[in-house]
Structure 1
Amino acid sequence: MEGEPTAELIRAQLRRLRVNAELSQEEFGKLVHFSGSQVSAVELGQRPLDRFFLKRADEVLGTGGLLTSLLKLAERDGQPSWFRPWLEAERQAQQMRCYQPTLIPGLLQTENYARAVIRTDDMISNDEVEKRVAVRMDRQAVLSRPDPPQFVAVIEETILRRTDEGFRGLMAEQIAHLIACTEQPHISIHVIPAEVGMHVGLTGHFTLARTSDGGWVGQLENQLGGKVVDNDEDVAILLARWESVRNEALSRRQSVELMKEVMTSWS
């Protein structure tokens, strides 16, 4: 991300705002709880952009959140090229449908659960883990905006029970969060019980978003990345599969009761 144009813009704006405030790097560093050399390294691109640092800089310089907003844009710039169209569809969505056979959907994950999932990839650094967690949490704002999309998720019961003793607290927290989410009228979560056998959804996760023009867009992921699906034939297949998996799931009320039962077992 550090080589992206938006990241360069953040550093340029930081320098401009600091100079306009008539603060040296050393003086500014004391105000944001960083050393002068660390401030210099950030401005020169020798140190990664840090969310805490930019938040403090916004507060000290009175920017109204400019720098942290630009950081969110930079993080989006750093997303894989295939994923950017989906982020745009997600932000504009009026309705969303998500089926997940293996994990809690990203828009419903707690920070701790998201961090645990992302850390399973031992090829990324701790700093990159935290960046990805931050991006995932930022994406969830789509569900709390003034006009949120209707979001319906179907998940497998095995997701709620798949963990070990070391993650009891994490799973109890995550399931409690799911239950709290269902209290919002625009969010529904339906669970496919473990006794349901083979069904078409088990071939893989997919998400659908309906935009303001009434069209649907799909998103698929795999081990190496993913793709956005927008041609009519493929979208029609995903919509049909959505109906199939939704029909296998419990009702909203029954799903909440099952989640409460599982949460009690983890507690």
Structure 2
Amino acid sequence: MADLPGPLAAFIVGEMRRARGAAGMTQETFGRAAGFSASHVSAVEGGTRALTIDFIKGTDRALTSGGLFERLAATFGAPSWFLPWLDAERAATQLRYFEPNLIPGLLQTEAYARDVLRLDPRLTGEEVERRVKARVERQSILHREAPPTLVVVVDEGAIRRSGLGAEKMMDEQLEHLVACAERPNVSVHVVPADVGVYAGLSGPLSLAHLLDGGWVGHLETQLGGEVVDRPGDLDTLFERWESVRNEALPRRQSQDLIKERLTNGST
């Protein structure tokens, strides 16, 4: 599962299998109750099929466990509101991200991700480290045999933002961003500061194109996030994406701007 460290996903699957056996359920009877075929259950338990949030929720229904397994995934992996988007991200053939304030998670270094996650005062040091590891593991989709096409647009403010004492961390992040942008499946674009006010400043957005030809969107707020799949809402997100993309610099000019920031600093 893309949002959980591998050992944790294996642990949760093992606990699900043990709970199914303790309930006296075969893979077939369990699958009917959970909403999956017996072959799907066998593949997840055997490690040849990914553990998804839908399977986790189905397990909780089938075993009447009161949401135990979803809480395990949320507590030790990503927040529960983020899990459906991560399932879409893992299955996507194309991904589009716009961020007005931060570098998107798929292109973050460990140090940058750690600094961002530390901004949440509710997270303990241990929880921050778990989420840093999970965020970095998400990036494996960019290195698989058939990686998705990733198009990222960031505001210039995101590449110039750096706090006192964080200059080295930010330089390493920008070097990593440049290296990522040189991959054939990754395109990074920057909206320059002289654009002024534009539609994207209202907040980040994400879009994923799935194997079945459909699209899924994601919006993140201070309180959580929402997966968007209603046609009218998707139309609005596409209009917003096109507006943002049209304000951004071409790929090569964007890389030059990032490299200029590396050379001259944040000023």
Do these two structures clear the TM 0.5 threshold for a shared fold by scoring above it?
yes
- Distance between the aligned counterparts of 2:107 and 2:189, measured in 1? 13
TM-superposed CA distance for 1:81, in Å, is 3.3
- Distance between the aligned counterparts of 1:176 and 1:5, measured in 2? 32
- Distance between the aligned counterparts of 2:165 and 2:153, measured in 1? 26
Q: Cα gap change, 1:263/1:228 in structure 2, threshold over 3 Å: closer, same or farther?
A: same
Q: Cα gap change, 1:144/1:155 in structure 2, threshold over 3 Å: closer, same or farther?
A: same
TM-superposed CA distance for 1:82, in Å, is 2.7
Q: Which residue of 2 aligns with 1:112?
A: 111
Q: Cα gap change, 1:195/1:134 in structure 2, threshold over 3 Å: closer, same or farther?
A: same
- Distance between the aligned counterparts of 2:193 and 2:248, measured in 1? 10
Q: Which residue of 2 aligns with 1:33?
A: none
TM-superposed CA distance for 1:11, in Å, is 7.8
Q: Which residue of 2 aligns with 1:173?
A: 172
Q: Which residue of 2 aligns with 1:77?
A: 73
- Distance between the aligned counterparts of 1:266 and 1:111, measured in 2? 21
TM-superposed CA distance for 1:10, in Å, is 5.5
Q: Which residue of 1 aligns with 2:219?
A: 220
- Distance between the aligned counterparts of 2:237 and 2:9, measured in 1? 36
- Distance between the aligned counterparts of 1:133 and 1:8, measured in 2? 19
Q: Which residue of 2 aligns with 1:195?
A: 194
Task: Give structure 1 regions of 4+ aligned residues with deviation exceeding 4 angstroms.
Answer: 4-13, 73-76
3-state SS of the aligned residue for 2:144? coil
Matched-pair identity in %: 51
Question: What amino acid is the match of 1:178?
Answer: L
Please give the per-residue CA displacement for 1:185-227, whole angstroms capped at 9, x wherever unaligned.
Answer: 1100000001111111111101000001111100011111111
Q: Superposition RMSD on alpha carbons, in Å?
A: 2.6
3-state SS of the aligned residue for 2:120? coil
Q: How does 1:19-38 map to 2 (within 5 A)?
A: none
Q: Which residue of 2 aligns with 1:28?
A: none
3-state SS of the aligned residue for 1:87? helix
Please give the per-residue CA displacement for 1:64-118, whole angstroms capped at 9, x wherever unaligned.
Answer: xx8xx99xx9898223333222111101100111000010000000010000100
Please give the per-residue CA displacement for 1:105-149, whole angstroms capped at 9, x wherever unaligned.
Answer: 000000100001001112211000000101100111111111011
Q: How does 1:109-258 map to 2 (within 5 A)?
A: 109-258=108-257
Q: Which residue of 1 aligns with 2:28?
A: none
Question: What amino acid is the match of 2:119?
Answer: T
Q: TM-score, normalised by structure 2?
A: 0.72
3-state SS of the aligned residue for 1:165? coil
Please give the per-residue CA displacement for 1:27-63, whole angstroms capped at 9, x wherever unaligned.
Answer: xxxxxxxxxxxxxxxxxxxxxxxxxxxxxxxxxxxxx
TM-superposed CA distance for 1:7, in Å, is 4.3
Unaligned runs of 5+ in 1: 14-65
8 Å Cα contact 1:6/1:77 also seen in 2: no
8 Å Cα contact 1:110/1:177 also seen in 2: yes
Question: What amino acid is the match of 1:209?
Answer: A
3-state SS of the aligned residue for 1:104? coil
3-state SS of the aligned residue for 2:194? coil
Question: What amino acid is the match of 2:91?
Answer: Q
- Distance between the aligned counterparts of 1:136 and 1:164, measured in 2? 22
3-state SS of the aligned residue for 1:195? helix
Please give the per-residue CA displacement for 1:141-169, whole angstroms capped at 9, x wherever unaligned.
Answer: 11111101110000011111111230110
Question: What amino acid is the match of 1:109?
Answer: Q
Aligned length: 209
- Distance between the aligned counterparts of 1:183 and 1:217, measured in 2? 26
